[in-house]
Structure 1
Amino acid sequence: MNILLSPDSFKGTLTSSEVCDIIESALRNIISDCNVIKLPAADGGEGLCSSFANSNEGEWISADAKDPFGLSLRAEYYMLKSGAAVIETASCAGLPLAGDRADPIVTTTAGVGMLIRDAVNRGAKRIILGLGGSATNDCGAGMASELGFCFLDKNNNSFVPVGGTLIDVERIILPEKPFCVPVVAACDVTNPLFGVDGAAYVFAPQKGADAEQVELLDRGLRHMADVLKRDLNFDSENLPGAGAAGGLGAGAAAFLNAELRSGIDIVLDESGFDKLAADADVVITGEGRFDSQSANGKVMSGVCRRAIKAGAKVYAVCGCASND
């Protein structure tokens, strides 16, 4: 019997690789002669690099970056042998790094820009940027600042905007040398940039914002949408995923011409999942908590959809299930 394992991480408990190992051990106690293929998955957040590392040759790169508050740290990304660099926003701008000081009014994606620049300087031919798990709401302005974009206020003073100061951006000056490396951004949500379903109202409270701050952040994102449309000829209003990672989805598309795609589909495409699923008798996926969000672009929904299409039976292992 051929069994393909492709679970998500059990957040805060087990990585997707550890989940694979546990399921494999349990299976071999029951079916001693089964052929188990492990393909740890991710949807764009924490674990994206490890997912690629488990199914692709390459090397881990350690580079200088900045944490959500602009302080120096070392962060890792994964450079595939093919020349694609896999970078997680969470590795330098993630919510766990902010800890109990989480505050999307002041956090920055500058570290993301530093990792992208490092990868390009090392010869990366393509960037795969995971957008999940951020502590930020700066529309990617911090990232863009590290890649040569200049933001001016009404007095023509340059500054690096954060969530609370997006409203002060008067003009954006493009870098002398355009960013030319292809970028695909792995999204785990399809939310718009602003509005009741946008980055601020839906996700900022999880990052430490109160009601008054949420309103300020949303106004900043609306303002940035106008500035991006005027200065970069970029329309973010109807872009699914623009609100991912505090507007980094819109920022990646506007500043880097990134293609926004479902994170789990990127992972499954790059790992050859469809062929493996077609050869499998059973596919087992899973996640820490199964709830209403599990069907919205998350690992389990992507694995189930494509495994069923390939003709495999699908089972799920979950830490807990909710009726919500």
Structure 2
Amino acid sequence: MRVLICPDKFAGTLSAAEVAAAVADGWRETAPADEVVLRPLSDGGPGFTEVIGGALDGRRVTVATVDPLGRPVHGEVLLVGATAYVESAQACGLHLLTRQERDPGAATSYGLGLLLTAAVEAGAVEVVIGLGGSAVNDAGAGMLAALGAGPVDVGGYALPYGGAVLGAADRLEGPPRLRQVRLVAATDVDNPLIGLHGASNVYGPQKGATREDVLRLDAALEHFAGVLERAFEVDGLAAMPGTGAAGGVGAALLALGARMVSGIDLVTRIIGLEEQLDRADLVITGEGSFDHQSLRGKVAAGVANAARDRGLPCVVVAGRNETGYREAANAGVTETFALLEHFGSEERALAEPARGLREIGARLAGQWSR
């Protein structure tokens, strides 16, 4: 039997490669004669450059950058020919903060701007930015500041970092220093910048925003969208699909002329997933939380859809499962296994995810292997 294992990361615990390896180890313990193929995935969030770097022969450039609170961290730019791949989560990621530190009103995307600057200085002609898993809600204002185009108030003074102050923005400091590189934003989030389905309302609470914070942030982003529209001569920016990605960084990138692409489609093309799907007998995918957002273009749903189109069974492994059987089946999911149910304890699921995935992998092999 040929088994294709292609999960996303389990945020906060295991990378996509570690998830795939753990499930594969369990399967091989039970069915060592089966052919097990590993293709870790990313939709643009954490692990984006790691997954692409594992498939392409590129050069990794270490970059000194900052986290969402301005503290020093290290990121990297993956250079493949004239194309650079950058992962926003390396500088803006929610995983870089403790739960107590989460504050979308103050968090900044400045570090992403430093990564973009490094890609430009390395000679890239095209920069592909993976968006996802962010702690910020500043519509890319910090990123623009690092590029020399930060927001200023009516007096010409630079605004503090974060999304909460963007209501005071009057204009941008100057043109962004990008040397005419082509920008590509890779994400599978189709949320607009503002409104009920916008960045603040949908993603603000998981980043630490209260209901009052959400209302203030949404109003601030609406105002800043107008600043971006005037600066870059674009119309209707706040309502465009994808502008809410990564706390509104998508809006700034689209204003800069970026082309938006599906992160999962980009990654699957690069790693040759379609060919592997054509040869598989069973597909195993997964992510940390399999929920209603997963069904809106996330990795697990994308893989399940592709498996369904080929008539392949698809099993989802997750940290927790919050979908109903019918909606999962409609997406192409045959079965779902969750660490929370496996262990019966959230504490153990978080403490021993690799062990749990090995045990689930062994159980799946006992059910499915010929």
* TM-score, normalising length: structure 2: 0.81
Aligned AA (1:31): A
Indicate if the aligned counterparts of 2:77 and 2:86 stay in contact, CA closer than 8 A: yes
Counterparts of 2:158 and 2:320 in 1: how far apart (Å)?
49
> What is the match of residue 285 of structure 2?
285
Q: Which is worse superposed, 233-242 or 111-120?
A: 233-242
Residues 178 and 292 of structure 1, relative CA distance in 2, 3 Å threshold: closer
Indicate if the aligned counterparts of 1:93 and 1:109 stay in contact, CA closer than 8 A: yes
CA shift at 1:251, angstroms?
1.0
Counterparts of 1:209 and 1:166 in 2: how far apart (Å)?
16
Residues 150 and 73 of structure 1, relative CA distance in 2, 3 Å threshold: same
CA shift at 1:276, angstroms?
1.8
CA shift at 1:25, angstroms?
1.9
Q: CA RMSD in A?
A: 2.1
Residues 102 and 320 of structure 1, relative CA distance in 2, 3 Å threshold: closer
Aligned AA (1:168): A
Counterparts of 1:187 and 1:129 in 2: how far apart (Å)?
9
> What is the match of residue 247 of structure 1?
248
SS at match of 2:127: strand
Counterparts of 1:107 and 1:216 in 2: how far apart (Å)?
15
Q: Which is worse superposed, 102-111 or 308-317?
A: 308-317
Residues 176 and 85 of structure 1, relative CA distance in 2, 3 Å threshold: closer
Aligned AA (1:242): T
Counterparts of 1:106 and 1:25 in 2: how far apart (Å)?
42
> What is the match of residue 97 of structure 1?
96
Indicate if the aligned counterparts of 2:132 and 2:246 stay in contact, CA closer than 8 A: yes
Indicate if the aligned counterparts of 2:11 and 2:95 stay in contact, CA closer than 8 A: no
CA shift at 1:88, angstroms?
1.6
Q: Could you list the structure 1 runs, at least 4 aligned residues long, displaced by more than 4 angstroms after superposition.
A: 176-179
Residues 21 and 138 of structure 1, relative CA distance in 2, 3 Å threshold: same
CA shift at 1:206, angstroms?
1.6
Counterparts of 2:252 and 2:125 in 1: how far apart (Å)?
20
CA shift at 1:123, angstroms?
1.9
Residues 56-79 of structure 1: CA distance to partner in whole angstroms, max 9, x if unpaired? 222332111122122333223433
> What is the match of residue 30 of structure 1?
30
CA shift at 1:248, angstroms?
0.5
Aligned AA (1:136): V
Counterparts of 2:177 and 2:113 in 1: how far apart (Å)?
15
> What is the match of residue 331 of structure 2?
none
SS at match of 1:40: coil
Equivalenced residues, count: 322
Residues 79-110 of structure 1: CA distance to partner in whole angstroms, max 9, x if unpaired? 3x334322221111212223222211111111
Indicate if the aligned counterparts of 1:199 and 1:244 stay in contact, CA closer than 8 A: yes
What does residue range 37-76 of structure 1 map to in structure 2 within 5 Å?
Answer: 37-76=37-76
Indicate if the aligned counterparts of 2:120 and 2:179 stay in contact, CA closer than 8 A: no
Q: Which is worse superposed, 302-311 or 291-300?
A: 302-311
CA shift at 1:252, angstroms?
1.2
> What is the match of residue 204 of structure 1?
204
Counterparts of 2:54 and 2:190 in 1: how far apart (Å)?
27
* TM-score, normalising length: structure 1: 0.91
Indicate if the aligned counterparts of 1:3 and 1:282 stay in contact, CA closer than 8 A: yes
Counterparts of 2:323 and 2:299 in 1: how far apart (Å)?
19
Residues 252-305 of structure 1: CA distance to partner in whole angstroms, max 9, x if unpaired? 1112x1122222122112212112211222222122332222211111111112
Taking every aligned residue pair, what percent have the same amino acid on both sides? 39
What does residue range 201-280 of structure 1 map to in structure 2 within 5 Å?
Answer: 201-235=201-235, 236-255=237-256, 257-280=257-280
